[in-house]
Structure 1
Amino acid sequence: MASQRIFTSFSDLRPEYDFVIVGAGIGGSVLANRLSEDPSVTVLVVEAGGNESENLLVQVPFLGVQLAGGPADWKYVTAAQKGMVDRTIPCARGKALGGTTCINLLLWQNGGSDLWDNWAKITKDEGWGWETAQKCFKKASHLAPPAGGRDIHGFVEPSAHGQGPVAVSAPGYPYSLDKLSIDAAEELGGTWSFNIDYNPGNNLGTSYVQSTVGNGQRSNSAHAYLYPAASRPNVDILINTQVTKLVPVSGSQPANFRNVELAHARDGPRHIVIAKKEVLLAAGVIGSPQILQLSGVGSQELLSSHGIPVLVNNPDVGSNYRDHPMASLHFEVDLADTWDPVVRSPDAINAALGLWKEKRQGLLVNGPANTFSLLRLQDSDPVFQKHPDPALGPRSAHVELVNINGFAPFGNVVPPTTGNYICVLAEVASPLSSGTVQIASPDAFDAPAIDPALLTHPFDQAAMTRAITCALTFTRSTPLKGHINGPVGPTATIDDDDASKLAFARENTYTMNHPCGSCAMAADDAPNGVVDSKLRVKSTAGLRVGPTMPSCHIQAVVYIIAERAADLIKAQYGLAK
């Protein structure tokens, strides 16, 4: 491969580019690759983090749980959560080439037909419907053989997948919990029933995890899209640099944001780079609204309070921020193949790492879970007498369970030093609680105030009690109950009543780290929303933002949005495909 044009100095840059892309996560990586396919187009990607391509924790799927709080994480923390006894919650967001795909837990699902057809309805644009989403999904990824050449028959539906650059595979290292989980789902029936693959459109049931793993190694957006683009002479990548604000062309109406102000440090010099065609803001669910607000696009009240001139008064910027609340339940089991003994022993984990390095096999080729369930509440559930159904359609979930083959520590829970365990993550998949991302100062180097308002909506509180009930039901099923010795830690305090379950949730809930919605998309003629159906920031020119609450793990959804955005931009400017 030709040398990659990855820089750290302003002096290496051209004075102007056709497109300046802010952020090198999924959106930035996909856009840089697809737009630069036209050799006449020049592209600059600006990333606040560095290049983590040689970071072993990033490469090894199982070790990804250690990345939160490290150098590839922004280390954001939420405001005190009123719905969760005023606890603050870490919000892991990737700060590196590849963004959060470098530190996430790898799960891959496209959201199903309900999600995309709903977005088409909201935007009044069929281009966001399921038919287009499937095409973009297939452009983004391909099925890779699981590590060790494990047969994937019965694990995935190959026809739902494509030939794109992101590697996706079924679990390469089996556990006895896998079959027990599938057998339990078949016994429980209904929406628990086995679903070979969520990606053909039905986002319900129990299935094997699909992960962004190829040849036993993490496949992130930098490796799949950005590094190949970086070898092209028309692409420059600037790392360890923050965008401090976007500056409109003088006198432009509406504000035409073509000037991007950059800085390496809080007190460092500022540098302006010009986008001849557009600025593409792909800084994520936290960074994008922060940069818009710093640039004068946001709530007049908020901006004025920080002395920022208001160029576009749009209170929706940074609003509608949501995440999936998740509580972890722990159980001691008699299963001998949980990963607890391995992670406790330096010798054992080093041996596993040696096997991974030599053959890309063994425990470390997987993420922490091999099976999960997306479930609907019963139509007769009393919660629907008080609240409308928030699910996007009949094939979308209200709650999710993720089955982890070991003691996964969250918060202050300390793993036991002996024994074998499983952890069941109970999640609200269609939350109604909605919060905000707001600048805390006019300085781009100050973290914004992040408040997802978790478990503040009564529906979410009820749904979380149902999710916990489902987790307990799962462990009491015939296939599991003979292997469960009993709940441990805070899980042992849960009684079989909603008040007890909600009290447990308030004390022990974190998030699945699926934040979204802070730059909401709406119809072109709608008075609300941040971006229109073409992802253009309303009441501005020369500026787009990638948006996203899907009831699923969201990384594949963002890849689809990014591929769709690239198609829209290419069509507008007549670029080569």
Structure 2
Amino acid sequence: MASSSCDFVIAGGGTAGLVLASRLTEDGSQSVLVIEAGADQSGNLQVKIPAFYAANFDGDADWNFSTKAQKDLHNRAVPLNQGRGLGGSSILNAQIWGPPTKGISDSWASLGNDGWNWDSLRHFHDMSYTYPSVPESSWKTLGLRSWPEQKDSNPGPITTSFPNATHPIRVAWAETLAKLGYPMSKDPPVKDRENIHVLTNATAERVIFEEGSTKAIGLQYRHNSSTTTVIARKEVIICSGAIQSPKLLELSGIGNREILAQHGIETIVDLCGVGEGLQDHLAVDIGFEAEALERGTLPQDGSRMPFNEQLPINLPSPSGHQQLRMLLEQNRPKQDDLPDRELARASAFYRVAEKALLDPASPSEVYRTSLGHNPFESDPVNGERTLNPLPGTYLTLVGILAHPTSRGNVHIQSANASVAPVIDPKYLSNPVDIEVFAEHVLYLQSLASSPPLSGLLKQPLRPSRAISYMADLEAAKEYIRIRAVSMWHPAGTCAMMPAEMGGVVDNHLRVHGVENLRVVDASVIPVLPPANLQSAVYAVAERAACLIKSQYGLK
């Protein structure tokens, strides 16, 4: 039940917001109100079971976002599914846990964020989850040479484990990659507390400021057709995600002055980085007809595709480094194309991506397998996503661009909080991305032809669609433009960086130029991890809770 005032008001009951609420209310003297636009989906089996997550797309648990038409994807608008409900996008994903690499974590610190390197963050990663135990009998099927027990690890609230490791695809996938030189790495509820209040189906509309100042004192929200204001005695914390957090800042008068003026919003703080720097992972899949297997056959019905069977694998780029160096040099941000303050931010981001792409030990792609045929395909003619499973038995290989150099933005298109923002990721706008991605997508065919994986597939290879035949890099590029979709990992739109570099929050996640206002979610992550995003969000939220507790002397 909402009160008229509390110590902390959290806008957004997603992954980060609930971590903060949990940690801050460990001190019984503190009261926290969480404002969440969606409902409590904790009883929904389609949320609890990983294989069913796609069944929630376009429903009540989904914001149903879509990007602007993307010029480099044949002007397709790409669906960007984001969770709407307690838990945020954690209720709408395949529950894959993959901490970021050391190099990417260290890059956050290199952008002017002291205390945000891997050595500092590892403790907060460990706080968030329970390290899984893996019996030696499962090592082979999981592609592990060993799996060390971490006896000194404290169990965190998120329980992690490997899926049931019995299907033949696991052995074939792991052994195929090992033969190609890519071995698997060794290491990859509090709602009943009286001091925590969670209000669902309530939409945050704007931050309230002390008259004549930049001090945040509360939050205005809409619930049951009425508008209410709650006062925050200590802080307002925005945890609405990479799409909604910049929207809420702009609706509150924090952002690019010119954009705010277009919608008649008074500028509280002119902060040009709000909504800029949007990054996301693109993914492309190819389905191949498979042989029936004695131990656990592959699904016949593509609409029941069990994504929880995915196995993430990081692979170095197959492209020649000299050619890649030239490509990166030719396409780095230029002063002629950008204003000075935008150039500083774009150049800093580009240097990080460049370092990762040129590091032989750093992945430029993530490969996965999925049992079954992917029914969510873009029509090759009109680009529309259709549910059209094919008959037969299939194995799908997926390639994900790990380090995109292209960045876009998300901005309000109205002063009305109920209107969705305009999302423009500018996918593949930097030519580096299509070149690197095309090599990897073409390499998926080589993987499918490599034993022992090839022994599970019908030979010669039979891709699920005619457009999946790729003879060369140009064909792979065209396939990407037709078929690439979002992996639903938007980040970076309220980047943690110094203000002079175009950042939105400082290294304590406080909004530049504003008192008592923080942003804690994927939007503050300045550089995407190479694979799944959720574990990084947990670590960011754990660290934020520690910083806030320290500032206020909380238990």
TM over 0.5: yes
Structure 2 counterparts to residues 367-386 of structure 1, below 5 A: 367-378=308-319, 380=321, 382-386=323-327
Task: Give the corresponding residue for 2:340.
Answer: none
Are the equivalent residues in 1 in contact too, given 2:467–2:479 (CA < 8 A)?
no
For residue 404 of structure 1, report the CA deviation from its aligned partner: 0.8
SS at match of 1:482: helix
The code of the aligned residue for 1:233 comes to: E
Contact 2:57 2:64 in 1 (8 A): yes
Q: Does 1:171 align with 2:146?
A: no
The aligned residue for residue 345 of structure 2 is none
- For the 8 Å contact 2:172–2:453, the answer to whether it is kept is yes
Please report how far the alpha carbon of residue 173 of structure 1 lies from its aligned counterpart in structure 2 after TM superposition: 4.7
* Offset, 1:229: 2.5
Instruction: Tell me the residue number matched to 1:114.
Output: 103
Residue pair 1:399, 1:427 contacting (<8 A) in 2 also: yes
When the two structures are superposed, what TM-score results if normalisation uses the length of structure 2?
A: 0.87
Does the CA-based 8 Å contact 1:521-1:529 persist in structure 2?
A: yes
1:303–1:450: structure 2 CA closer, same or farther, 3 Å change rule? Answer: same
Shift of 1:369: 1.3
* Offset of residue 390 of structure 1: 2.9
Answer yes or no: is 1:262 the counterpart of 2:238. no
Distance 1:561 1:416, change over 3 A: closer
Question: Structure 1 residue 119: deviation in Å?
Answer: 1.1
1:327-376 C-alpha deviation (Å, 9 max, x unpaired) = 111111114345423667xxxx8xxxxxxxxxxxxx97x71413533433
2:474 alignment partner in structure 1: 499
Counterpart of 1:450, as a letter, is I
Q: Which residue of structure 2 aligns with residue 562 of structure 1?
A: 541
Counterparts of 1:146 and 1:272, CA distance in 2 = 49
> What 5-or-longer segments of structure 1 have no aligned partner?
1-11, 200-227, 350-362
The 1-side partners of 2:462 and 2:256 are apart by 47
- Counterparts of 1:90-489 in structure 2 under 5 Å? 90-125=79-114, 127-144=115-132, 156-159=147-150, 162-189=154-181, 192-197=182-187, 199=188, 228-252=189-213, 255-264=214-223, 268-336=225-293, 337-341=296-300, 367-378=308-319, 380=321, 382-387=323-328, 390-392=354-356, 395-412=361-378, 416-485=389-458, 486-489=461-464
Task: Quickly say closer, same or farther: Cα 1:491–1:38, change in 2 above 3 A.
Answer: farther
Alpha-carbon distance between aligned partners in 2 of 1:230 and 1:257, rounded to the nearest angstrom: 26
User: Which one is further off, 419-428 or 477-486?
Assistant: 477-486
- Name the SS for the 2:216 alignment partner: strand
Task: Indicate the SS of the match to 1:123.
Answer: coil
CA distance in 2, matches of 1:314, 1:155: 49
Matched length: 509
Q: Distance in 1 between matches of 2:258 and 2:265?
A: 10
Distance 2:39 2:421 in 1: 21
1:261 touches 1:272 (CA, 8 Å); kept in 2? yes
What displacement does 1:403 show? 0.8
Residue number in structure 2 paired with 1:209: none
Matched AA of 2:314: S
Residue of structure 1 aligned with 2:510, choices 514, 536, 547? 536
- 8 Å contact kept, 1:375–1:400: no
Q: Is the Cα contact below 8 Å between 1:407 and 1:415 reproduced in 2?
A: no
Aligned amino acid, residue 122 of structure 2: Q
Cα distance change on mapping 1:499 and 1:379 into 2, 3 Å:
closer
Deviations 1:25-60 (A, max 9, x none): 111011001111111111111100010011110111
CA distance in 2: counterparts of 1:161 and 1:552, whole angstroms: 24
SS in 2 for 1:134: helix
What whole-Å deviation, never above 9, does each CA across 1:47-105 have from its counterpart, x for those lacking one? 00010011110111211121221211111111111110011111111111111111111
Contact 2:318–2:440 (CA<8 Å) still a contact in 1? no
Tell me which amino acid in the other structure corresponds to 1:174.
T
AA at the equivalent of 1:517: G
Report the equivalent of 2:489.
Answer: 514
Q: Give the direction of change, closer, same or farther, for the CA distance of 1:491–1:141 in structure 2 (3 Å limit).
A: farther
Do 2:301 and 2:389's aligned partners in 1 also have CA atoms closer than 8 Å?
no
Contact 1:400/1:467 (8 A) holds in 2: no
Q: Does the CA contact (< 8 Å) of 2:470 and 2:476 recur in 1?
A: yes
Separation in 2, partners of 1:310, 1:422: 53
1:32 aligns with 2:24: no
When structure 1 is superposed on structure 2, of 480-489 and 103-112 the one drifting more is 480-489
The answer (yes or no) to whether the contact 1:391–1:551 under 8 Å persists in 2 is no
TM-score (norm 1): 0.84
Residue 112 to residue 269, structure 1, CA distance change in 2 (3 Å): same
Letter of the structure 1 residue corresponding to residue 234 of structure 2: K
Q: Which residue pairs with 1:552 in the alignment?
A: 531
- Check 1:422–1:396 CA distance in 2 against 1; reply closer, same or farther (3 A cut): same
CA distance in 1 between counterparts of 2:289 and 2:231 reads: 58
Task: Report deviation, 1:510.
Answer: 0.3
SS at 1:293 equivalent: helix
For 2:361 and 2:544, the matched residues in 1 are separated by 26
Amino acid paired to 1:246: V
Give percent identity, aligned residues only. Answer: 31
Q: Are the aligned partners of 1:325 and 1:455 in contact in 2 as well (CA < 8 Å)?
A: no
Question: How far did residue 491 of structure 1 move?
Answer: 5.8
Q: What is the rounded CA distance, in whole Å, between the counterparts of 1:421 and 1:34 in structure 2?
A: 44
**Equivalent residue of 1:72, what SS?**
coil
Q: What is the SS of the residue equivalent to 2:273? A: coil
Higher mean Cα deviation, 43-52 or 58-67?
58-67
Residue 341 of structure 1 aligns to a residue whose secondary structure is: coil
Contact 1:439 1:448 (8 Å CA) reproduced: yes
1:66 aligns with 2:32: no
Q: What is the RMSD of the two structures over their aligned residues, measured on CA atoms?
A: 2.3
In structure 2, the residue matched to 1:9 is: none
CA contact (8 A) 2:30 2:195 kept: yes
Alignment counterpart, residue 51 of structure 1, candidates 25, 35, 40: 40
Distance 2:119 2:549 in 1: 19
Aligned 8 A contact 2:494 2:503 in 1: yes
Matched residue of 1:443: which SS? Answer: coil
**1:574 is matched with which residue?**
553
More moved, 540-549 vs 151-160: 151-160
Gaps of 5+ in 2: 330-352, 379-385
The change in CA–CA distance for 1:368 and 1:444 in structure 2 (over 3 A counts) is: farther
Amino acid of the residue matched to residue 74 of structure 2? V
